[in-house]
Amino acid sequence: MRRLPLRTSLSFVGLGAVLVTGVGLAALNSSATADPGAGACTPEQYAALLAAGDNFALGCDLPGSLPAGGAAAPGLSEDDIDKSDNIELVAHVPLAGAFAEEGAYGTDMAFQGRYLYDGNYNGFQVFDIKKPAQPRRVAQVVCPGGQGDISIHENVLVLSVDSSRSDDSCASTAQPATEKSSWEGLRIFDISRPAKPRYVASVETACGSHTNTLAPTRNGKQVFVYVSSYSPSADFPDCQPPHDFISVVKVPVRKPARARLASTPVLFPDGGNPGGPVPLLTSSKTSGCHDITAYPAKDLAAGACMGDGILLDISKRARPKVVERVTDDVNFAFWHSATFNNSGTKVLFTDELGGGSLPTCNPALGTTRGADGIYDIEGGSLEFKSYYKIPRVQTMTENCVAHNGSLIPVRGKDIMVQAWYQGGFSVFDFTDSTDPEEIAWFDRGPISATSPELGGAWSVYWYNGHIYSSDITRGLEVFAIDDARVNAAKKVRMGTFNAQSQPSYRG
């Protein structure tokens, strides 16, 4: 998966044109034969989107271009803010140094004690959040390698590399995946001194590591890393089709330099979902997983695997086993991520319709596409109950779709905070699986009213009483919420928090 230099202004003109002109999804199906980059984007735009991560470049498969002044859907104006009365922004730390360069986007987060670790396309940075309203940057680790998905266990930090590199070092350069010597996979750091992380090991994995998920053993002495990746090609020596498996890496917690590949369990022996005619707009062909969320205390994991949602038994950490599989070929285009409720009786899956770069929060696409799908686990089966999508209309220049979020630990309730890119973030209650209800939100106007720009909240998580947002271009933001429905959660304290390795709290 080759990654090329980025430009600040990215175009998602393909779907924009379709929606502006009012053409329905049936017309999108006719674009299935379009060559990548040949329809909506210039070669330069396509290269930038290809480098930008997730599935941004596939927006170029669509024909047409966004007309001048193409913000056709109603919404906020530039610099406007719409929020619920119970939400307040209390801190903002802009991207700085190498992390403010073009294409150095803010991505995923992990937490431990008083520290927040924030992933970035150029590596990761560390913040002291002892005073949440006054976060203080204490380290920047420049180590480019794609979107920088990040997880923590004790003194071990795991960083995903989904950018084909010349070698495994932090000084590596981009190199085509068609070259056998190219490297991508996991980088492992010792964070026993949070302000001075130390790079101690690397593990190469097939097709790299788009995301990673930790599943510690019961005694905590070993941690298994579930590596999700996808998009194989016969031209890529280290990423061959059918790529129907995940990579499992074993990391000895006390000696992380001895990390090694432990297994490559096949999850889709039948090939998975064959996919629909238009990538990211109709059901995706399954060729790997995008993300897995583990619930180690319950020996469960849920996989969001392009065209499939799966439930896994991880009682044998190195050999996860699929026990349930669901598809949604009507409303889900790309199964992106998953969240359990605290009791482990529900899974909320997200659909990243359009790959994260397109404007999908508008009446043309309705309330069930680019949304969350809520499933109850009944007798070991995943039973669909409802969809949830933010109710606010976004403009045609705003990339907006369901993205990364986490539970808020409210006893007896299922409440979640979730990022929606330029749709901001939403706090919603899905205790009644059939009738989810929004209870708080924060939303800015578009970065540009006339030009599509990539931006907004990538990850929004709850940690020890506050809401933290890693914004693609704005950096770190911290929010306070004052609402009787969630205030009790402020008493819950977690020592370590990874959204994709869910802890259990007393509920």
DSSP 424-447: -EEEEE-SSTTS-EEEEEEEE--S
Among residues 370, 466, 388, the alpha carbon closest in space to that of 431 is found at: 388
Contact present, 254 and 271 (Cβ < 8 Å): no
pLDDT of amino acid 133:
98
How far is 335 from 274, CA to CA, in rounded Å?
Answer: 14
pLDDT of amino acid 25:
35
DSSP 326-383: E--TTT-S-EEEEEE-TTSSEEEEEE-GGGGSSB--STTTTTTSSSEEEEEEETTEEE
pLDDT of amino acid 47:
54
Quickly tell me which residue has 């009944």 as its tokens: 378
All structural domains of the chain: 13-497 (2.130.10.10)
Q: Give residues with Cβ within 8 angstroms of 189, minimum separation 6.
A: 141, 156, 157, 158, 159, 197, 198, 199, 200
Amino acid sitting at position 155: N
Amino acid sitting at position 437: E
- Buried b or exposed e, range 430-456, using 16+ CB within 10 angstroms: beebeebeebbbbbbbbbebebbbbbb
pLDDT of amino acid 7:
24
Largest CA distance in the chain: 59
Q: In what order do the strands lie in the sheet with 136-142?
A: 136-142, 123-128, 115-120, 106-112, 496-497
Name the stretches of the chain with pLDDT < 70. Answer: 1-73, 507
Amino acid sitting at position 305: C
DSSP 467-492: EEEEETTTEEEEEEE--TTTGGGGG-
In whole angstroms, how far apart are CA 296 and each of 76, 204, 215, 324?
41, 24, 6, 17
Q: Find the radius of gyration of the CA atoms of the chain.
A: 21
pLDDT of amino acid 78:
87
How far is 287 from 55, CA to CA, in rounded Å?
Answer: 14
pLDDT of amino acid 37:
38
Residue 355 tokens read as: 């790959």
Contact present, 504 and 492 (Cβ < 8 Å): no
How far is 400 from 439, CA to CA, in rounded Å?
Answer: 19
pLDDT of amino acid 22:
33
Angle at 465 between CA 463 and CA 468, to 5 degrees: 50
In whole angstroms, how far apart are CA 351 and each of 167, 219, 418?
33, 35, 13
How far is 213 from 316, CA to CA, in rounded Å?
Answer: 15
Contact present, 368 and 389 (Cβ < 8 Å): yes
Contact present, 110 and 151 (Cβ < 8 Å): yes
Angle at 177 between CA 333 and CA 317, to 5 degrees: 65
How far is 269 from 492, CA to CA, in rounded Å?
Answer: 42
Among residues 144, 143, 110, 142, the alpha carbon closest in space to that of 127 is found at: 110
Contact present, 477 and 468 (Cβ < 8 Å): yes
How far is 173 from 175, CA to CA, in rounded Å?
Answer: 6
Q: In what order do the strands lie in the sheet with 247-252?
A: 211-216, 222-228, 247-252, 260-263
Name the β-bridge partners of 340. Answer: 347
pLDDT of amino acid 3:
27
pLDDT of amino acid 278:
85
Half-sphere exposure of 480 (CA within 13 A, CB side): 8
pLDDT of amino acid 372:
98
Angle at 124 between CA 118 and CA 128, to 5 degrees: 55
DSSP 98-112: GGGSTT--EEEEEEE
How far is 4 from 51, CA to CA, in rounded Å?
Answer: 5
